[in-house]
Amino acid sequence: MPVQNFEELFQQKIDNEIKIEPKDWMPDAYRKTNIRQISQHAHSEIVGMLPEGNWISRAPSLKRKAILIAKVQDEAGHGLYLYSAAETLGMSRDEMINDLHSGKAKYSSIFNYPSLTWADMGAIGWLVDGAAILNQVMLCRTSYGPYARAMVRICKEESFHQRQGFETLLVLSRGTEEQKAMCQDAINRWWWPSLMMFGPRDSESTNSDQSMKWKIKRKTNDELRQNFIDMIAEQIKVLGMTLPDPALKWNEERKHYDFGEIDWNEFWNVVKGNGPCNKQRINARRKAHEDGQWVREAAMAYAEKKQSKTKAA
Amino acid sequence: MNNFFIKKFFYGDIPEEKGGGSDYQTKHDSTSWPLWEVFIRSKQGLDHKHAGSLHAADAQMAIENARDVYTRRMEGVSIWVVESKYITASNPEEAGELYEPAADKIYRHPTFYQLPDEVNHM
């Protein structure tokens, strides 16, 4: 069959909502796009453990500490689901890890911001995980089977993350003046970076959007961002706090909230490695990997030794 | 092949040419752990179902890792692991020939038989 037919058949499957599975024929660009997207999503989960890991030893109570550990452990699990999904496309785990450590592969730029106070744990859960969930719910219906299945599993676990984040802020918002101020400060610092998580404006794209045609993604950046803003603008009323955007206003005609301009310079700067914590995050990952080298080797040596003993017996 | 460039991206998808990077090279693992497939029985009476895969040095570690990765919320009562290299899968390109023999045997389905209403619970 000529390549053209394969491509037509492939597109027909996508149009008919038939998932693509690892051994199926797929265009090179589809494979590459998925590898890039899934592995970078995995890296985001893994690097995402760092800003929160920062507060495990300083959580204000044993209850909060247990919750935070569980949440960080979930992120590790999510990273693993996603790495396995990317591996089905033919890229090895070693290569993916190396690309993260060299800076070739990216992770969500939100994790290059520092977590300065305990209230940041609340703001990350509510805003950052909230924004991630909107993307992830959409990705449960993505066209590549292993990616979609990983996302279903992740979404089931993720809602606890957002709820615990909101509850953390709720407690602070009903606390002392100092706690209230801490809550508002965390929201102020995380609001704009959260909006940037959805990526550049749709108008930045000049080509026809192949990712939409292949149903890798199903909603545009702007659509998702607007959904997020509409949701958060209502929820913040419960906290009695404000969002740091004077232009934020309900638009009766559009039935959506209008909002102010995002600082795209800042966004690209952070993507390119000049955010407040880029170096720190990558160094932490490299160090963890290098320090774990002997453990990986020892475990393998032990496994081999055990196996040769069983054979000899 | 189409040679397009996908410009839009979002959470977890940043194009390489905008990202930069360095030539840092991870020290190559002389011993990378093999890949295992994980199957989980969610409760007694149900089949083991494929849950995903993971890397581990041996079977025991694969089961322990599977416990941590796939059953953090009591999703399982039993775990099977098998090294991925031992799984033989059918080829999707041969799906036509492989499943064709079943296609024209509609008499294998109960609905093929038209019976009088009196026995319609058969």
Q: Does residue B113 belong to any structural domain of this protein?
A: no
pTM for the full predicted model: 0.88
CA angle, A99 then A91 then B50, to 5°: 125
Query: Per residue in A256-271, pLDDT tens?
Result: 999 999 999 999 888 8
Q: Does residue B73 belong to any structural domain of this protein?
A: yes
Choose the closest CB to B27 out of A103, A268, A290: A290
pLDDT at B29 over 80: no
Q: Does residue B118 belong to any structural domain of this protein?
A: no
Name the token pair of A160: 């606890």
Residues in chain B closer than 8 A to A98 (CB atoms): 25-26
Q: How far apart are CA A125 and CA A64, in angstroms?
A: 13
Q: How far apart are CA B22 and CA A292, in angstroms?
A: 22
Residues in chain B closer than 8 A to A80 (CB atoms): 54, 69
Choose the closest CB to A84 out of B18, B22, B54: B54
Contact B39, B49 (CB under 8 A): yes
CB pair distance less than 8 Å for A217 and B1? no
Residue A2's pLDDT band (cuts 50, 70, 90) = low
Provide the domain count of chain B: 1
Among candidate residues A131, A104, A126, A110, the one with its CA nearest the CA of residue A276: A110
Q: Does residue B8 belong to any structural domain of this protein?
A: yes
CB pair distance less than 8 Å for B24 and A102? yes
Residue-range definition of the domain harbouring residue B103: 3-108
Choose the closest CB to A221 out of B10, B18, B33: B10
Q: How far is A136 from chain B (nearest CA, A)?
A: 9
Contact B33, B84 (CB under 8 A): no
Q: How far is B101 from chain A (nearest CA, A)?
A: 22
CB pair distance less than 8 Å for A93 and B32? yes
Q: Does residue B35 belong to any structural domain of this protein?
A: yes
Phi-psi label, residue A250: left if phi above 0, alpha if psi -120 to 50, beta otherwise: beta
CB pair distance less than 8 Å for A150 and B69? no
Residues in chain A closer than 8 A to B11 (CB atoms): 41, 44, 108, 131-132, 135, 197-199
Residue B54 maps to which CATH number? 3.10.20.520
Q: Does residue B117 belong to any structural domain of this protein?
A: no
Q: How far apart are CA B47 and CA A52, in angstroms?
A: 37
CB pair distance less than 8 Å for A37 and B12? yes
Q: Does residue B22 belong to any structural domain of this protein?
A: yes
Name the more confident of A121 and A206: A121
Query: Per residue in A122-161, pLDDT tens?
Result: 999 999 999 999 999 999 999 999 999 999 999 988 889 9
Residue given tokens 């795209």 in the structure block: A264
Choose the closest CB to A132 out of B11, B15, B28: B11
Query: Per residue in A179-235, pLDDT tens?
Result: 999 999 999 999 999 999 998 888 875 444 778 888 888 888 899 999 999 999 999
Q: Does residue B65 belong to any structural domain of this protein?
A: yes
Residues in chain A closer than 8 A to B23 (CB atoms): 102
